[in-house]
Amino acid sequence: MMHRIGAIAFNTFREAVRDRVLYNLVIFAILIVGSSLLVGQISIGVERLVLINLGLTAISLFGIVIAIFIGIQLVSKEIEKRTLYTVLAARPVRRWEFIVGKLLGLIGTLAVNAGLMAIGFFAALLYMTHRFQAADLHLLSALYLIVLQFVLITALALFFSTFTTPLMSAVFAFALFVIGTFAEDLRAFAVMAGGIGKYIATGLAYLVPNFAALNVISQVAHSVPVPGQLVFWNTVYVLVYAAAVTSAAVLIFERRNLK
């Protein structure tokens, strides 16, 4: 079982790399170095802050966009090319293994992508500040939480792609990302609401993926440490939520008529 999931994951990774996904790294490097130099000249006292905020925001947004646009194609492409039927019929691969393999492959791609961007980011930081400080270690926590964002969004994109068109999947996944950044506002709204509205709002607030808690960029830019507890419980939350979404994806995919 693990071998089959691993094979699908590896193939997904290889395909994504062939799709020239990693081209964004060049854009990223130019963006980050160029803008940090530019903003350094036109602003006052925020060179390091801009580099960190811009670098981590770019890593996060690039990754989310890539996660959505590859995630929505993972299943539909295989159906379109009629390779899915071959995989599922001719080899001893179960449908759920296929979904899990695809998910892990894409997460792997995004993690490698984020890792490479992080190297570029730290190189730019070193160029600007000439030496690393102890506080720069907090940046790694922020990067880790960004990878957790990717896990969530990939699971969501894959989930939507099991039952709707790629375009609609992209719209749904992106909409949920936006709503997820407002998760804490929804909760505040629930507190203020009354009657049945309170229960609906509270339910919704906990049902949507909470992206807000995964964004600590602004905090680490000011060298404020990220509590280990936050990192740990965020990890647990993302694993549980992504597993739930993936289970739902498997549920739908199992019932889908692929012929």
Binding residues (CB under 8 A) for other proteins: these are: 39, 42-46, 49-50, 52-54, 57, 60-61, 177-178, 181-182, 185, 211-212, 215, 217-218, 221-222, 224
User: What is the nearest approach in angstroms of other proteins to the Cβ of residue 40?
Assistant: 10
User: Which lies closer to other proteins via its Cβ, residue 175 or residue 243?
Assistant: 175
User: Which lies closer to other proteins via its Cβ, residue 30 or residue 258?
Assistant: 30
User: What is the nearest approach in angstroms of other proteins to the Cβ of residue 6?
Assistant: 34
- Helices 228-255 & 137-161 angle (0-180, nearest 10): 10
Per DSSP, helices labelled H in the chain are 2-18, 24-42, 47-71, 73-80, 83-90, 95-129, 137-161, 166-181, 183-192, 195-207, 217-221, 228-255
User: Which lies closer to other proteins via its Cβ, residue 49 or residue 112?
Assistant: 49
User: Residue 185 and residue 180: Cα distance in Å, rounded?
Assistant: 10
User: What is the nearest approach in angstroms of other proteins to the Cβ of residue 54?
Assistant: 6
What backbone torsions phi and psi does residue 44 show, to the nearest 5 degrees? -125, 125
User: What is the nearest approach in angstroms of other proteins to the Cβ of residue 50?
Assistant: 5
Distances (CA, A) of 85 to 100, 110, 145, 221, 232: 17, 27, 36, 48, 40
Our CA dihedral for 3, 8, 12, 14, rounded to 10 degrees, sits at 50
User: Which lies closer to other proteins via its Cβ, residue 143 or residue 249?
Assistant: 143
User: What is the nearest approach in angstroms of other proteins to the Cβ of residue 42?
Assistant: 6
Cβ neighbors of 24 (< 8 A, separation 6 or more) are 62, 66, 113
Longest CA pairwise span in the chain (Å): 63
User: Which lies closer to other proteins via its Cβ, residue 22 or residue 37?
Assistant: 37
User: What is the nearest approach in angstroms of other proteins to the Cβ of residue 96?
Assistant: 33
CA 60 centroid distance within chain: 7
Length of the chain counted residue by residue: 259
User: Which lies closer to other proteins via its Cβ, residue 60 or residue 109?
Assistant: 60
